[in-house]
Amino acid sequence: MAVFLFPRNSPTKLWQGRGERRRLSSMKAASPASNSSTRNNCFRVLGVDPASAGPTGYGIIESDGRRCRMLHYGALKVAPKRQKECLGAVLHDVHALLCRLMDEFSPDALAVESVFTALNMRTALRLAEVRGVVLLAAAQRGVAVHSYSPREVKASVAGYGHADKKQMQLMVRALLEMNETPEPSDAADALAVALCHLQAEQARQRFGLPAETRGAKLRPQSFAAKAAIARGGATNTLRRAS
């Protein structure tokens, strides 16, 4: 199997166990195969950014209700030679990767970006095939799947539905308190999808909505909007005190 994994060179990363698991130096290492009860009730999300031709991004984050942290991320690109040898090479490798990640990190939910309807028919069909493999892997592992459009993800993370890739990378880095900008952009997009679902899940719990309610229909406040409200509230408090 010929697979390209984008390298992430940083003096702050620690390599533990097999694979390319990544930790920030300021974080405590978490047991990858632990369940929710042994994670101090942290909610863990696997975000996936499927691609028809380019790399498929993936990222895993978790939150204790107050802070979010990144556990692992990257992007999978299948070598052109392997794609020519086997028609379903991309689908096979994406499925194998996601199954390994779910076995290793035991996410509570999987968030995936939906097919963008403005794409041309051929690209949309290829993207739908990869997305179908993502849904299959999640179903085989019993992980709930939630789908979000690119605009919903951008609005939730950056506060703007038309944010570009650079803006998304910088927002993901800030929200997850990372020491460096996540590369490539496909991996940053996957982390953004995971953050989007985490925000929707927090809104669902806050308003006491049933678990069957789709996060994409909640339309919660974005992280950027919440930060702005917090800043405004602090300013009003100072004014009243004076």
- The answer to whether the beta carbons of residues 183 and 6 sit under 8 Å apart is yes
Please report, in angstroms and rounded to a whole number, the separation of the first and last CA atoms in the chain.
67
Alpha helix segments (H runs only) across 108-163: 121-141, 150-158
Euclidean distance between CA atoms 227 and 236, whole angstroms: 14
Euclidean distance between CA atoms 195 and 60, whole angstroms: 9
CB within 8 A of 220, min separation 6: which ones? Answer: 156, 199, 200, 202, 203
Burial of 80 (0-12, 13-18, 19+ CB in 10 A): exposed
Secondary-structure breakdown of the chain: helix, strand, coil percentages, each rounded to the nearest 5: 45, 15, 35
CB within 8 A of 8, min separation 6: which ones? Answer: 22, 74, 180, 183
109-113/3-5 β-pairing: unpaired
Residues identified as active-site: 49, 113, 186
Q: Which H or E run contains 47?
A: strand 43-49
Task: Say which amino acid occupies 220.
Answer: P
